[in-house]
Chains A and B, each alone.
Chain A
Amino acid sequence: MHQSFVNYRNYRYGTVAVLATLATIAAYMLDKPRVPANGGTWLGYTLGTIAGVLVIFLSLFGIRKRAFHSRMGTAIGWLSAHVYLGIAALIIATLHSGMHFGANVHTVAYVLMCVVTLSGCWGVYAYVRYPGLMTRQRGNLRRKELLQQIEELDQRSLGLARITRRVEALIVDSIRRTDLDDPSFWSQLRGRDRSYLMIAAESASQAAHLVPNFDNHALIEQLAEMRLAAIDEMTRATLQSLLECAGAKAALLQRLRRETTLAARLRIWLFIHVPVCCALLAALCTHVVTVFLYW
């Protein structure tokens, strides 16, 4: 069986996390503090210390995963521990709180911890699900191969487009204005095709206009119109070939975009997970300092 961070070493860290969680839940249930359970009883302090140490350990994963030459365990082992112990840490922190929440810095720290953990869970889901989807989606082609195919279609279209100046201008512009590398992460995430097409006027004195070219629709429309208007068989056949190229490119672009979207989804949670985790570390320090400052 393929070893992933989920079943690393036969669920070693999963087992550790489950046992630790069960042990703390049992301690919580068995403990009968004199005041309602809270972070200030001996069990509360113990659970708080465990959760705090876990949070710091989990944060260290950010450093370990960048240290490619580190010999301190394997990266996949660290990730496995990170995932399972992260979930356990939230449960332990919840028990530490004694379910007491309010409008204060301690609850903010807890909420941040929930956000970090939930975004992490989303990340686990993404890492389990999206890589497979992406491979299936692009039909075992690599991204570069997809781009190569698009490039070949473009070259073929340019070669065919030399029939008239207008067709050539149209094809050249459609290639230039094809949205391949939208840098906006949100557009990548939404997977919108932000291609445009500058449609030149029939005569030079009239103004050209810019139209959205979603899935090559505008181009196909223009080419189809030209094909209808074409008189000789040769032009019509060429335009027909161009239409086929445009259609094939649209299909490739869709696959590329879908993959881009999946790749973005694979990372989006990280943009919540990491900054909020940094805020959580600040919150944790604040929590510990203030609790003992006003003991």
Chain B
Amino acid sequence: MRFCLLRRASVGGAPKGASEARGLLIHARKLTIGRAPNQHLQLTCPGVEHRHAVVMTNSLGGLRVAPVSGRAILVNGRREIRARRVSAGDVIEIGAAKLTVHPSRSRRAVILEVQEPESDEEAVDERQGEAASSGPRMSPWSWALSLGFALLFLLLPLSGVVMPGIQEPLRETPLLPSDGLWSPGPLHTAHQSIGTKCEACHARPFEPVRDQECFVCHAVVAHHVDIHSNDVALFRDEQCTDCHREHKQPATLVQRDPRVCTDCHADLKRRKPNTSVEDVTDFGSDHPEFRVTVLASRPAPDNDEGLSWRSVRLDRNDPEHFIEHSHLKFSHAQHLDPKGVKSPTGERVLSCQDCHKPNASGRDMQPIRMETHCSGCHSLRFDEHDPTSGVPHGDLPGMYKTLREHFSRAYLIQTSTVGSYTGDRRLRRPGGEQRALSESEQRRARDWVDSQSLKIARELLEKRVCADCHEVTRMPDRTGLEQWQVQPVQLTSSWMPRARFDHAAHISETCVSCHAGAPKSKRATDILLPDIARCRECHGGASSSAKVASDCLMCHPFHVPSRGPWLRSEGIAVKADVR
């Protein structure tokens, strides 16, 4: 397309003589008009935008003028903000400039006469002087950003809180803002099933999370003290969230800071004057010596065993009483003799693991059983050469019965083969075994069997087999089997029930690195548990950096299952009423 521009006025600053008409031919698809230097027709008069309008032809050869800056143009005095068809004779006004369309002989040529008033030099200069201080306007951006932020992050999620109907769609639709955006940190994995249901815990706006919301799921969580005791009152002001803080990084559900415990346990007597629990502030520097709980017996005449067992806590600082009285005779030193001990297969060197085997979890040891752990070497035979001569374990009448059966059989066999042990010789005939014994023979036989059985029983109970391991007392005023009493045995299984210890976690250690006294212990009464000093060789206080940092919760649980559910404690009932 060819555009022929005819100018009628001079530019500002040009001498007046230069104002005569000048023609300019431009080849272009569109004729651009505006203030900017790169416009085909540059107009510098007032009211002209940098890129104000274009003149173009459509496919049919019709001429059109279109404003491009959003600012209107006038065509024949009419305001136009859209493209408009123009033809010869039409006058287009752009700002203060006038463009007249002249008739053209060619359809491919447009003749435009341009009339531009002289620009106001002062105004231009002033504008140019200010040019450097212009720039994008800030207030629209400021409003847009702040209102946009408030809408996106506050008002939209808040609308879900106020109108539960739209809460779910907001939360479930990706990219829509929901109150999940307000979460300051991740939930612990244990709570992730709550998902995006903030109200599950945050039931009331502008109010801290309450215990009730926790008890919806944790109804059986145990108390720290016996819920039937008055100690419950000490916990009246405690909240679940005092220790269990969510949305923190890293996501730790249990607050392990020792102060959670030492707030009370540093000086427990202040809160509970009659307590037997000793004060503690730090495992590494201020923790009482371990007290060991063992089973102890006391006479109980109405009991079958004549004894009752109860747990007693022993103080290590009182060595005289720091013993376990299980009524067993046992020497660790003898069993762990490096030269070995006698066994059916010859000399055998025993190790700790031969008897002390971990249970399925590895935390604790399986209980010691005679049948499992001892009988391999300690046979209960009263006749070394007769493998059928074993007596039952733990059953004194049963043992005596076995002995009597044995000697009765022996009597009958002897009398039928080489005569009786009593010396009454008779000829043997075929079928003689079938002959019934006479009354005197029976008495004689019984006396003999009884005396033999008692003789062997005495040997077993006082000299070997039973006496090897058991404490047997003999009451001279009684006769027969009743003169002996084997003291019942109870081995302690939970030595420190108030603490948790995991053998599996200490598997890299050897047994004797903690139970150092075992190889030298000659008595079963020795308590072979390590003292606190041994633990402190590896475990330091909660803030220790040189040793394993050990906080209270590493060994002591806060919620003790035997104390009863917290929810049912009176304290909670009171708290619930208040609310």
Contacts and interface: CB of A to CB of B under 8 A. Distances in A.
A168 B185 CA distance: 73
A291 interface: yes
Interface string B1-35: 01000000011011101100011111100000000
Contacts of B432: none
Range of interface residues on B (Cβ < 8 Å):
35 or more
B44 interface: yes
A68 interface: no
Interface residues of A, number: 78
Contact of B37 (A162, A178, A264, A291): A178
Nearest to A184: B50
A232 to B, nearest CB: 22
Interface stretch (A11-19, A73-81, A83-91, A98-106): A98-106
B181 A104 contact: yes
A118 interface: no
Contacts of A198: 24, 26, 40
Nearest to B36: A194
B129 A144 contact: yes
Interface in A211-248: 212-213
Contacts of B257: 34-35
A117 interface: no
B198 A294 contact: yes
Contact of B153 (A177, A267, A286): A286
Nearest to B259: A34
Contact of A104 (B37, B134, B182): B182
A185 B134 contact: yes
A226 B201 CA distance: 86
B145 interface: yes
A266 to B, nearest CB: 9
A293 interface: yes
B129 A294 contact: no
Contact of A34 (B132, B205, B260): B260
B136 interface: yes
A60 to B, nearest CB: 15
Contacts of B255: 34-35
Contacts of A169: 22
A72 interface: no
B132 A271 contact: no
Interface in A102-141: 102-106, 108
B141 to A, nearest CB: 4
Please classify the interface of chain B as helix (H, G, I), strand (E, B), loop, or mixed, using the class held by over half of its residues. mixed
A200 B432 CA distance: 156
Contact of B182 (A196, A200, A281, A290): A290
B439 interface: no
A179 B50 CA distance: 11
A172 B11 CA distance: 8
B13 A147 contact: no
Interface in A145-180: 147, 151, 154-155, 158-159, 162, 165, 168-169, 172, 175-180
Nearest to B13: A154
Nearest to B27: A207
A127 B200 CA distance: 53
B154 A195 contact: no
Contacts of A25: none
A177 B134 contact: no
B135 A267 contact: yes
Interface string A5-36: 00000000000000000000000000000111
Contacts of B198: 294
Contacts of B62: none
B202 A294 contact: yes
Given A207-B26, A207-B27, A176 B42 contact: yes
Contacts of A162: 17
A153 B572 CA distance: 93
A263 B255 CA distance: 56
Contact of B138 (A34, A200, A270, A289): A270
B26 A175 contact: no
A285 interface: yes
B26 A263 contact: no
Contact of A283 (B132, B153, B252, B260): B153
A213 B475 CA distance: 130
Contacts of B186: 102
Contacts of B142: 274-275, 277-279
A147 B37 contact: no
B207 interface: yes
B182 to A, nearest CB: 4
B544 to A, nearest CB: 15
Interface of B: 2, 10-11, 13-15, 17-18, 22-27, 36-38, 40, 42, 44, 50, 125, 127-129, 131-136, 138, 141-150, 153-154, 157-158, 161, 179, 181-186, 198, 202, 205-209, 245, 248-250, 252, 255, 257, 259-260
Q: Which 10 pairs between the two chains have the least Cβ-Cβ distance? A: A263-B132, A279-B145, A278-B142, A177-B37, A275-B141, A34-B257, A290-B182, A282-B146, A207-B27, A278-B146
25 contacts: A34-B255, A36-B250, A105-B181, A106-B184, A143-B129, A144-B129, A147-B125, A154-B13, A172-B18, A176-B42, A179-B37, A185-B134, A185-B135, A194-B38, A206-B25, A209-B26, A209-B27, A271-B138, A276-B145, A278-B145, A286-B150, A290-B182, A291-B182, A294-B202, A295-B202
